[in-house]
A and B are shown apart, each in its own frame.
Chain A
Amino acid sequence: MARVKLPTILRSHAGGERAVDAEGTTLRELLEDLESKYPGITQMVLTDDGALHRFVNVYVNDEDVRYLGSLETEVDPGDTVSILPAVAGGR
C-alpha cells in the first residue's frame, strides 16, 4: 500500500482528503486502483490516450516519474506518491 498525496484540485474526488492509500506495483496500477476507489480522480492526471497530462507532475517519493519509467515506474509498499500541478517557479 502506497500513500498518495493529492493536490487541492483532486481532493473533492476523495471526500476532501489530502492523502489516500492505493495499491499497485507500478504507477499505472496504482492510478487504476485509485480510479476504482474514487471514480473520476485520474481524469485530470491522464490524457485521453492514457499518458500523463502535460501540466501534472507525479513523484514517487521525491523523484519525478517522467525521468524514471513514467507510468511503468515501480512503486513499493510504503512509498509516497505525490501528484502536483505544474506551476511557474523561478525568480
Chain B
Amino acid sequence: MPRTFVTDACREAAPMRFDDVLDAIGDTPLVGLPSLSPPGVRIWAKLEGQNPTGSLKDRIAKAMVEAAEASGELTPGRTILEPTSGNTGIALAMVARRKGYGLTVVIPDNASEERIRLLELFGAEIVLSPGDKGTNGSIEIARRLASDDRYYMPFQYGNPANPRAHEEGTGEEIVRDLPEITHFVAGLGTGGTLTGVGRRLKRHDPNVRVIAAEPELGDLVYGLRSLDDGFVPPIFDESVLDRKFLVNVADSVRATRELTEREGVFAGISSGAVLHVGLRVASELERGDVVCLLADGGWKYLSTQAWAPELERAEKNVSETLWW
C-alpha cells in the first residue's frame, strides 16, 4: 500500500484550488476552544486570520471594490482612498494590486509597525494622521482628500457592501458549520461584522444573542472638543445587538495570551477583547455554543511585545499602540 498524504477529510472536503487569490477569501475555519470552555458550554473561534492578508477585512475589501466596479463608481485609472488603522488598508492593497488600481490610505501614526510595512510593500501611498485622534482623525483627513475626483473612497463605515459581505459570507458559514449556535461575539469597529453576521444569525434563529466587544481607547481619543464630533458608523444597525461590553487593554492582552497558552491559537489583540467577553458570557450559561470572531492573527502585533514575559510590560506596550 503506497503511503499517501491525502486524508479522508481531504477527499470529502470542497476543492481548495482557486484561479485567483481573491477567490480564496472567506470560508475560514471554526475551531473549538475546549480548554477554555466551561462545563456544558462550547466556545468556538472563527479564525479570520486565515484569510489571504490575514484578517477579516479581505472580505469587505473585495465586496466594496466589486460593488463599486459594478455600479460604475470605480473605473480604471481612479485611485482607491480609505481611512483605516491597518487591516482594511492591507486588504484593499491586495485587492487593488490584483485589479490594477492605485491605493492611498490614511492611517494613524501609532498603528503597529507591521501594518505600515505591509502597506508599503503592497505599494500603497500612505498618509499619516495624528495617532492621538485615533481613527476619527484619519476619517477627517480622508474626507478632505476625497473631494479630488481622482479618488474613489469605499468608506467602510458607510458602505452597505461591508455588512453584506458578512451577512452573505461570514454569517452564512457560521450557520452552515454550527446551526446550534446560541451566542455570537465580535468586536465593534465599523459595525459591519456585527450588523451583517447578526442579521444572518437572527434570520436563522431569532434567539441567537449577538454581543459586541468594544475597546476602551486612550483618553486622548475620547478628548473631543464637542460631542458633535462624535461618530456612530452609518452602517451599524444597533437593533441586532443584545449586549455590548467595554473591554480594557489589560483584559484584552491577558485573554490574547491565554488563547495562545491554553488553546494554541495565535490571534491579534482585539481577539483577546472578544474572547474576554465570550468567556464572561459563557460563564453565565448552563449550556450553549458561543462563537467568538477572531478578526486577525497575532503576526501584526509582535512588535507591540504583547507576548513579552512580563504581563505589565506587555500591557503598557500595547496601550501605546493602536491595536483596534
Contact = CB atoms under 8 A, between A and B. Distances in A.
Interface of A: 7-9, 44, 53-57, 59, 62-64, 66-67, 82, 84-91
Contacts of A91: 55, 57, 84-89, 135, 189, 295, 324
A87 B84 contact: no
Contact of B224 (A66, A82, A87): A87
A89 B246 contact: no
Interface string B212-251: 1011110101111111111111000010011111110000
A28 to B, nearest CB: 20
B156 interface: yes
A66 B231 CA distance: 16
Given A66-B238, A91-B86, A86 B243 contact: no
Nearest to A55: B230
Given A8-B219, A84-B222, A90-B85, A63 B245 contact: yes
Contact of A88 (B86, B87, B136, B187): B136
B227 A87 contact: no
Contact of A66 (B221, B244, B247, B324): B244
Contacts of A56: 227, 230
Given A59-B246, A63-B244, A64-B214, A88 B233 contact: yes
Nearest to A44: B227
A85 B246 CA distance: 13
B188 interface: yes
Contacts of A53: 227
B135 A67 contact: no
Given A84-B222, A87-B136, A55 B232 contact: yes
Contacts of A59: 246
9 smallest A-B Cβ distances: which pairs? A90-B189, A55-B230, A64-B244, A90-B190, A91-B87, A89-B189, A8-B223, A88-B135, A88-B231
Contacts of A7: 222-224
Nearest to B268: A91
Given A62-B247, A64-B243, A91-B87, A86 B324 contact: no
Contact of A67 (B189, B192, B243, B295): B243
Interface string B80-100: 000011111100000000000
B85 A87 contact: no
A57 to B, nearest CB: 8
A87 B245 contact: no
Contacts of A8: 219, 222-224
Q: Which of B156, B212, B224, B225 has the most CB of A within 10 A?
A: B224
B63 interface: no
Contact of B156 (A54, A82, A90): A90
Contacts of A9: 222-227
A86 B238 CA distance: 13
A62 B246 contact: yes
